[in-house]
Amino acid sequence: MLHSYLKALLSSHNIEVTESKESILNIFVEDFKEEIEKAIQINKNLVDKYQIRNKIKDITGQWVSLPNATVGKAYQHKVDIIGLGWDTMVFTSMEGLDELGMAYDNENEIISGTPSFSGDHKIKFLYRLQGEDDQVINEKVFNFIVNPNPRSLWKNIGSNTDDIYWKADEIFDNQKLGDRQIVVASKRGRSHANAGTFRDDDFAFKHFANTGWSIISVADGAGSASQARQGSKIACRSVIDYTEEYFKGEKLVEFDQVLAQHHHNSTDETNKYISTFVYESLSKMAYYAHKKIEEEAVRCERSIKDYHTTLIFTLLKRYEFGYAVLTFGVGDCPIGLLNKELTEIKLMNWLDVGEFGGGTRFVTMPEIFSSDKFVSRFRFKLVDDFSYLMLMTDGIYDPKFIVEANLERIEKWKEFIADLKGSNEENTVVDFNPENENIGQQLSTWLDFWSSGNHDDRTLAIIY
């Protein structure tokens, strides 16, 4: 050991120890044993010290990321000392966590706690490596991103009441509708409230005592269309206006007669008559809505595209033998009819959904009227009775049913009704007792439910 050290030292000075001089070397080593041992020790210390500096430099340059945290959400992260290649660390500590309401456990190298405020925080990581003096402390800065609590970020900015197309941010109503009750509420979504923009959804309904028919309409203006709030409003109102103006007289009397006949004995003929009646009446209503919006667009020298809106509506009439339910729909808002026993759901329209979120069709698109799928947008049902008839916008359907397939599942509808009746996080209850005059307010409150990522306008109409 001493020999080879000395040889290497001499060699670094270009002095080669030849065989003939080995004996001198042996004696030299004996005579200077202590000094050589000391020199070896000094060199080793220097190397160790250099290696420590080297390691510190590496650690400083190393990109280390702590997973992001969120305000108000419990956080725990173990700093993987070994995995980071820091196995020579003998002491670690952190500075800057206390202020966030968090702590570092240096026994187990765990950061934990619930951060109290957001930001791009700089946390000092203090450490000592093996071989360093006890008082030495090295420092590395960790970036620690704490996201704000998303719920705290939503602002509620009122919409501009001076706008020509202003509408209330929230509205609700409950009334008798023929021999049933209707409750309906429509509320501006958080995404609109956050930006101070308008509610794009709308609804309308009316019962006509002279004919016995009721009509309920719901529409969802396209978020991307600047005047959509007016589009949805015109769409909803104009089908009511059309019903009032044109859906009356002899043809309804004839329909009532055929329907009674159909109920008694359904034939190809009665079926055909009804289909034609439904198609002719409702397609005119839908087209009337389209024309009314177009007129408004022309009047304001705008493109009808600026008024893009979906539209669903239902005509309902009570007969001695049951209820006739006629529907039309364009867009992604479903109409559901639940039987008395809550054992069966009839989805009364198909939804226009594209491959991508938000891609749908609108009653403002002229091509829907000429499409060969147009005839499939109508439905007719004659039922003995029903428990609920619901029309909703995607602001309800997205968070509560999530996907289209769930709209055909009775269990999902049962959950939905239980949710309305109070089985929800916020414990808000909608009481469907016909005596309950407060139900409109209740439904409006229920519409405030929290659902991460679902902040669209919400409109729900329920006939019960």
Partner 1 sequence: MRRLPVYFLLDTSGSMYGEPIEALNNALSGMINTLRTDAQALDSLWISVITFDREVREIVPLTELASFQLPSISCPQSGPTHTGLALEMLHKKVKSEIILSTANQKGDWKPLLFLFTDGKPSDIMLYREMIPKIKAVNFGSIIACAAGNLADDSLLKELTDNVVHLDSADSATLKTFFKWVSETIEQGNKSQGTGETVALPPPPSEITIVI
Q: Which residues bind partner 1 (CB under 8 A)?
A: 63, 65, 67-68, 70, 118, 120, 143, 145, 147-148, 150, 153-155, 190-191, 194, 220, 222-224, 305, 308, 332, 352-362, 365, 394, 398, 402-405, 452-456
CA dist list (Å): 340 to 298, 323, 346, 384: 46, 12, 12, 9
Q: How far is the CB of 191 from partner 1 (least distance, A)?
A: 6
Tokens at residue 17, please?
């120890």
Cα–Cα dist 305/227, whole Å: 9
Nearer to partner 1, 147 or 441 (CB): 147
Beta bridge partners of 390: 336, 462
Question: How buried is residue 347: exposed, middle or buried, by Cβ count under 10 Å (0-12/13-18/19+)?
Answer: middle
Nearer to partner 1, 444 or 454 (CB): 454
Beta bridge partners of 110: 78, 105
Nearer to partner 1, 107 or 355 (CB): 355
Nearer to partner 1, 143 or 271 (CB): 143
Q: How far is the CB of 31 from partner 1 (least distance, A)?
A: 58
Nearer to partner 1, 274 or 368 (CB): 368
Q: Is-contact 214 286, C-beta < 8 A?
A: no
Tokens at residue 398, please?
């997205």
Q: How far is the CB of 266 from partner 1 (least distance, A)?
A: 31
Q: How far is the CB of 154 from partner 1 (least distance, A)?
A: 5
Q: What is the dihedral of CA 36, 37, 39, 41, to 10 degrees?
A: 170
CA dist list (Å): 349 to 50, 239, 374: 77, 17, 12
Q: How far is the CB of 170 from partner 1 (least distance, A)?
A: 19
Instruction: Choose among 361, 359, 385: nearest CA to 373.
Output: 361
Instruction: Choose among 189, 96, 90, 188: nearest CA to 134.
Output: 90
Nearer to partner 1, 101 or 150 (CB): 150
Q: How far is the CB of 313 from partner 1 (least distance, A)?
A: 19
Nearer to partner 1, 180 or 455 (CB): 455
* φ, ψ of residue 452 in degrees (nearest 5): -55, 125
Q: Is-contact 310 360, C-beta < 8 A?
A: yes
| Category of 449 on φ-ψ map: left (φ > 0), alpha (ψ -120 to 50) or beta | beta
CA dist list (Å): 279 to 265, 274, 377: 22, 8, 9
Sheet (strand 75-78) strand order = 75-78, 110-113, 102-105
Nearer to partner 1, 169 or 201 (CB): 201
Q: How far is the CB of 227 from partner 1 (least distance, A)?
A: 13
Q: How far is the CB of 226 from partner 1 (least distance, A)?
A: 9
CA dist list (Å): 224 to 28, 194, 380: 92, 16, 32
Q: How many CB atoms lie within 10 A of CB 252?
A: 18
Nearer to partner 1, 194 or 436 (CB): 194
Q: How far is the CB of 203 from partner 1 (least distance, A)?
A: 17
DSSP 167-220: --SEEEEEEEETTEEEEEEEE--HHHHHHT----EEEEEEE-TTT-EEEEEEEE
Question: In the chain, what's the furthest Cα-to-Cα distance?
Answer: 134
Nearer to partner 1, 241 or 404 (CB): 404
Q: How far is the CB of 355 from partner 1 (least distance, A)?
A: 4
Nearer to partner 1, 80 or 98 (CB): 80
Nearer to partner 1, 38 or 373 (CB): 373
Cα–Cα dist 244/238, whole Å: 10
Q: How far is the CB of 95 from partner 1 (least distance, A)?
A: 21
